[in-house]
Structures are given as C-alpha cells and as structure tokens.
Amino acid sequence: MGHDESLPPGHFSYFEPEQAYHSSKLGMWIFLATEVHLFGGLFAAFAIYRWRYLEQFNEFAQTLNWKLGALNTVFLLSSSYWMVRAVDAAQKGLNKKVIKYCNITLLFGCGFFVVKFFEYKAKLTHVPPIVPSTHVFYGLYYTMTGLHAVHVLVGVVAIWWVRGLAKKNRYSPVYYTPVEVVGLYWHLVDVVWIYLYPVLYLLAGVSLGVATAH
C-alpha cells in the first residue's frame, strides 16, 4: 500500500510501512485462498462428471492438443521464474531490472494467449464446431480454461502496473510491496494451470488402467 499523493494525508499515514507491507501480503494470501475455492468448485464438478461419463471424457480428452498445452505450461512456468527475479530485483531497489524482468514475464504471458488463441480456433473451426454445448466435457473445458485465461489477463494488467511503478523508480529495499503481492497472484495463476493441464489434457485413458500415450 503506497503513499499516493492524490489521497488525503490523513488516511494513509495511519499505517507504518512495516504494518502496511504485512497487511498487503496477508490480504493477498487470503484472497488466493478464495481463488482456490473458486477453481475448486470447477475441479469438483469435473471430477463428478468424469466419473459419470468416463468413456466420453477419455475420448474427448484426446481431442485436446496436449502439445500446445505443454507449450503453455512451459510459458507460464518460465514467466513465474522471471516474476521471481523481478521480486528479487525490487527488494534490492533495482528498478531498471524490475522493468526488464517484468517485460520478459509479460512476453510469456502474451505468448500464453497466442497459443490459447490457436487452440480455441482449432476447436471452433473444427467440422462440426466444438462448442461448450457439444458435451459437458467441453462445457467444463471452456469454462475452466476460460476462467483461467481471465486470471492470466488480470495478471498481465497487474504486472504492467507493477512495471509502471518501476519506471517511476518507486521500489527500494524498504518498499517493494506491489511487486511481491502481484508476484504471489501470478504464481497462483501458474499453479492453477499446473493442475488444469494434466486434469484436462493428460488424463485420457488413465483410469481405464491403460496409460495411453498419444
């Protein structure tokens, strides 16, 4: 929580920098817990319907492009690595490096959308088109990946904002809260994908007792 000049002096000078830092971090962790529950509902629904329509789920899972999914996994994991570097740089007050690392993170984040675009396009231009109402499997596939993509988008915007503060030289060894908090959020987006990818793309055939390679 920074000292924003546009605000009345009263309210923000209330908080010691230390207190503000810990509060922001705790707040973000609690918020991440709510995110886990948000996606948790979807995973629960997926588990229930997979059990109910096992054969169809196995069949449809094979229509997903696991290679593009793997590429996106690489993109998100790499972006998380550069986000960590950005946090580290901010803690040392190296604003220029923060900008650089944020740029790389953003690049991977945008790469994720490019891949996603081709994935969705292939589904929608398929004959007949594969849409959410094709089967509950695709309904959940679009919902889960779509909701995740919305989170990636929010993350990209947030990292852009963090980068903007670095441009104004705002970070120093005593103030780097935004980078750290946005970093936490970005890792969650990453972690959600790490669960989404195997559940949606790689489970095809597994519970039939056959480890299908495809």
Partner 1 sequence: MSAYAATDDHDHNYINWEKGFWSWWMSIDHKRIGLMYLGTMLMFFAIGGFFALLVRIELFTPGETIMGAADYNTAFTLHGVVMIFLFIVPGIPATLGNFLLPLMIGAKDVAFPRLNRLSYWLYVLSGGVAVLAIVFRLDTGWTFYAPYSVQNSTAVVAATTAAFLGGFASILTGVNFLVTIHNMRAPGMHWGRLPLFVWTLYATAILQVVATPVIGITLLLLILENVFGLGVFDPDLGGDPVLFEHMFWFYSHPVVYIMILPAMGIVSEIIPVFSRKPIFGYRAIVYASVGIAAISFLVWGHHMFVAGMANLTRYIFSFLTFFVAVPTAVKVFNWISTLYKGSVTWDSPMLYALSFVFLFLIAGCTGIHLATLSTDAHYHDTYFVVAHFHYTIQGGAVIGLLGGLHFWFSKMFGRMYNEKLAKVGWLFLFIGFNGAFLPMFILGMEGMPRRYFDYPVEFTTLHQMATIGAFVNGLGYLFVFGNLGYAVFRGKKAGTNPYESLSLEWQTPSPPAHDNWETIPIVTDWTYGYGKPEDDESHAGH
Applying CB under 8 A, the residues found at the interface with partner 1 are 1, 7-11, 14-15, 19, 22-23, 26-27, 30-31, 33-42, 44-45, 48-49, 52-53, 131-133, 135-136, 139-140, 142-143, 147
| Shortest distance, position 121 Cβ to partner 1, whole Å | 17
Count of other CB atoms within 10 angstroms of residue 199: 17
- The residue written with tokens 């390679």 in the block is 213
38 versus 110: smaller Cβ distance to partner 1: 38
| Shortest distance, position 212 Cβ to partner 1, whole Å | 24
Buried b (16+ CB within 10 A) or exposed e, 115-130: bbeebeeebeeeeeeb
Looking at the chain, the number of H-run helices and the number of E-run strands are 7, 0
* Closest to 148 in 3D by CA, of 63, 209, 95, 69: 69
36 versus 54: smaller Cβ distance to partner 1: 36
| Shortest distance, position 27 Cβ to partner 1, whole Å | 5
53 versus 113: smaller Cβ distance to partner 1: 53
44 versus 174: smaller Cβ distance to partner 1: 44
* Closest to 177 in 3D by CA, of 185, 30, 144, 38: 185
| Shortest distance, position 23 Cβ to partner 1, whole Å | 4
Cα 4 to Cα 24: distance, rounded to the nearest angstrom: 15
| Shortest distance, position 146 Cβ to partner 1, whole Å | 9
49 versus 66: smaller Cβ distance to partner 1: 49
Report helix, strand or coil for 175.
Answer: strand
